[in-house]
Structure 1
Amino acid sequence: MTNGQAAADSFIRGLVNRSGPELILATKPFAVDSTARSWWCILSTTALLVAAVAGTLLAPHGLIKMGSSVLSGLLLLRLFVIYHDQQHHAILPKSKVAEKFMWVFGILALSPSSIWRASHNHHHNHNSKIKGSHIGSFPIMTRDHFEKAPRRARWLYLFMRHPLTILLGYLTIFLHGMCMRPFVMKPREHWDCLIAVVVHAVIAGSLIGFVGWQGWLLTQILPHFIASAIGSYLFYAQHNFPGVAFYDKSGWTYDRAALDSCSYLKMGPVMAWFTANIGYHHIHHLNARIPFYRLPEVLQAMPELRNPKVTTLNPIEIYRCLCLKVWDVKQQQMVAVGAADGEQV
């Protein structure tokens, strides 16, 4: 081996061995957005969404209307992830115009800025903690805690993690969890949640009045259902998958929570575009200021991020994720309720 090869190997080993603050610091050069690219992503996605909504209202054929409705849902999902990035200040952090635009979008998407930032920032700071991670995320119980909990508490816990709750995320997670409940709990702090519900109801009433029930279903209900169901599952699977790790207070660190408790949800290029690269979730949790369009670049540039815990949208993988219910402290893994020792699902 030449001296040059030895030096190169030593350099690569040094990169792979980075951890903790050093690893997080290494991501900092990527946490810079391009103003032009960020605006292009926002405006082009918005324009496509407006065109798709117009298709549901104006297309001459029912199949075209249905296709436009499905496309609206996928574009709503993409714009929501872009909104999520802006709320992290990963893109356009100093733009007041972007802040106002995204505030309006949060109202329309049933995810008002006040509750989204409060709950989601908590989620990033407490991700994978056994205690305290339920705010802004799906609840987590240890196996022992679940078995000793009252029947009502067990029912509520399983309800929150049930596949139907995720599928009906439009009603359960967004309309109720992100709008109605926060306003009832803290009306002064989350007054924008009430605005979101009122605006949503006014849009529904207007659509029914002007274009009828079918127009309402295709223009509002189906797109929100699609975006919310996919978004809810993505959020679930990125933190509830075979191999995920949860920690008590003493074992938790920010970088471990990112790399051991967040999945890399592999998707094809089409779904990666519609989800705005949210599948690179381990990198996003390592540094939430990295713009979504730079996440693939980070994966390629940093060797220690190339061996993440992976899941996919394959139906078998989805089933495996949805079966996981409680954290087994002894086995140090998520298991199904009632699973025998050593059995994950």
Structure 2
Amino acid sequence: MAKELLGAWKQTLGPYEAPRTARSVWQVVHTIGLYLGTCALAYWSLSVSYWLTLILAVPAAGLTIRIFILFHDCCHRSLFRSRRANVIVGYVTGVLTFCSYEQWKKSHTMHHAGSGNLNRRGAGDIWTMTVSEYVAASPMRKLKYKLYRSPFVLFTVGPLYNFLIDYRFNNKDAGRKERIGTWLTNVLLAAVLTTLCLTLGWKSVILVQLPIFYLASAAGVWLFYVQHQFEHSYFERDENWSYVAAAMQGSSYYKLPKVLQWFTGNIGFHHIHHLNPRVPNYELERAHASDPRFAQATTLTLRSSLRSLVFRLWDEESRRFVGYRELKRRKVRPRVSRDKRSATSRSHH
């Protein structure tokens, strides 16, 4: 039944999954062109006022996010029909966003394959513990989890660590292709940054690129966070997990103002993306409007999405996220089954 349901949804979205080459090429050209032009203005503004530089960092960061969406589509092979074109553009946009194409494609594919599956946590997702797991955890593990889930770490320290440090290295199980891809990306990044420093001066590079990089990475992590970490999301154990339910119930429709929707490449239609990752970013809105059933996905706005900041733990009994305060009021006792303990121990955290 689950396979039949998934097949039916894929058939509904089928007309929207074919990339249009001209549209894709234009996206790449004008997005990267606008980004480079805005960066050039930011460097020029250093001689006028650093406040102007910081103002220009905002649209430059927005364009960085849009470039990342192009990178993201290349990882799904949804931006171009040609596999080679997706790889080439994926590497270029990966360097611009400090991401390794092969490395990120692998972890993100695993995220799609197990999103919302409590037995498959730990690959390309936000560390999430259940209420029972948290109550049964040691004081040190609880402290580690609290630090990780704090807004300061998630949206300040975390983005800088992920993009600047973590993505520079391969996991132990990485294959030869992935390892070569990561080191090639690192070499290209070093070459670009060295050229900029020798041409414009290292102080200028830091003053311009650091605000852009921080704003873009923090906003990117926030987007990923709210697309799955909302109150009535979806998490199930392996035996009850459903790909379709994880997409429709566990991925939000982030309804953003049109200008932010453009900068974020329509990724707010995240339920559509999880149902069929082969749909290009520029077709997501049309696909969403094609069937009234897609409106069943949880809709978040900028204002309502802020509530996600208080959610910390998934409650398997009430099937929703709760915060530490609610947990303290309820005085939950440890009730972790042997099979849940083994699932927790397999997490990379």
Q: CA deviation at 1:141?
A: 1.3
Q: 2:112 & 2:124 partners in 1: Cα distance?
A: 9
Q: Deviations over 1:102-151 (max 9, x none)?
A: 21321331210121111000000000011213200112211111111223
2:168 pairs with one of 179, 189, 195 = 179
Residue 61 (str. 1) matches residue 32 (str. 2)? no
Residue 230 (str. 1) matches residue 216 (str. 2)? no
Q: 1:183 & 1:206 partners in 2: Cα distance?
A: 29
Equivalent pair of 2:70/2:93 in contact (CA under 8 Å): no
The farther-off stretch of 127-136 and 145-154 is: 145-154
2:237 pairs with one of 239, 242, 248 = 248
2:317 pairs with one of 312, 318, 330 = 330
Q: Which amino acid aligns with 1:50?
A: L
Q: 1:32 & 1:155 partners in 2: Cα distance?
A: 47
Equivalent pair of 1:282/1:308 in contact (CA under 8 Å): yes
Q: Which amino acid aligns with 2:92?
A: V
Q: 2:264 & 2:240 partners in 1: Cα distance?
A: 32
Q: CA deviation at 1:84?
A: 0.3
Aligned pairs (5 A) from 1:191-210: 191-197=180-186, 199-201=188-190, 203-204=192-193, 206-210=195-199
Q: CA deviation at 1:252?
A: 1.0
Q: 1:198 & 1:33 partners in 2: Cα distance?
A: 31
1:190 pairs with one of 179, 193, 203 = 179
The farther-off stretch of 36-45 and 131-140 is: 131-140
**Structure 2 residue runs without a partner (length 5+):** 331-349
The farther-off stretch of 189-198 and 104-113 is: 189-198
Q: 1:84 & 1:102 partners in 2: Cα distance?
A: 8
Q: 2:187 & 2:261 partners in 1: Cα distance?
A: 33
1:298 pairs with one of 287, 290, 304 = 287
Change (3 A) 1:256 1:97: closer
Q: CA deviation at 1:220?
A: 1.7
Change (3 A) 1:33 1:256: same
> What residue number does 1:126 align with?
114
Q: 1:255 & 1:187 partners in 2: Cα distance?
A: 30
Equivalent pair of 1:107/1:195 in contact (CA under 8 Å): no
> What residue number does 1:50 align with?
36
> What residue number does 2:308 align with?
321
Aligned pairs (5 A) from 1:84-163: 84-94=72-82, 96-163=84-151
Q: State the secondary structure of the residue aligned to 1:327.
A: strand
> What residue number does 1:221 align with?
210
Change (3 A) 1:206 1:166: farther
Q: 1:290 & 1:44 partners in 2: Cα distance?
A: 21
Q: Which amino acid aligns with 1:272?
A: Q
Q: Deviations over 1:284-339 (max 9, x none)?
A: 0000001111111111111110221012222x632x21211111111111111242
Q: CA deviation at 1:66?
A: 2.7
Q: How many residues align?
A: 323
Q: 1:184 & 1:54 partners in 2: Cα distance?
A: 39
Equivalent pair of 2:131/2:314 in contact (CA under 8 Å): yes
Q: Percent identity?
A: 27
Equivalent pair of 1:183/1:193 in contact (CA under 8 Å): no
Q: 1:135 & 1:76 partners in 2: Cα distance?
A: 24
Q: CA RMSD in A?
A: 2.4
Q: 2:189 & 2:144 partners in 1: Cα distance?
A: 27
Change (3 A) 1:91 1:186: closer
Residue 41 (str. 1) matches residue 27 (str. 2)? yes
Q: CA deviation at 1:73?
A: 1.1
Q: CA deviation at 1:56?
A: 1.4
Q: CA deviation at 1:24?
A: 2.6
Q: 1:41 & 1:173 partners in 2: Cα distance?
A: 26
Q: Which amino acid aligns with 1:235?
A: F
Equivalent pair of 1:73/1:223 in contact (CA under 8 Å): yes
> What residue number does 1:22 align with?
8
Q: State the secondary structure of the residue aligned to 2:120.
A: coil
Equivalent pair of 1:138/1:160 in contact (CA under 8 Å): no
Q: 1:196 & 1:47 partners in 2: Cα distance?
A: 21
Q: 2:207 & 2:191 partners in 1: Cα distance?
A: 16
Q: State the secondary structure of the residue aligned to 1:231.
A: helix
Q: CA deviation at 1:61?
A: 2.2
> What residue number does 1:11 align with?
none
Q: CA deviation at 1:241?
A: 0.6
Q: 2:129 & 2:159 partners in 1: Cα distance?
A: 25
Q: Deviations over 1:6-48 (max 9, x none)?
A: xxxxxxxxxxxx9443123211111111110011011100100
Q: Which amino acid aligns with 1:52?
A: T
Q: State the secondary structure of the residue aligned to 1:146.
A: helix
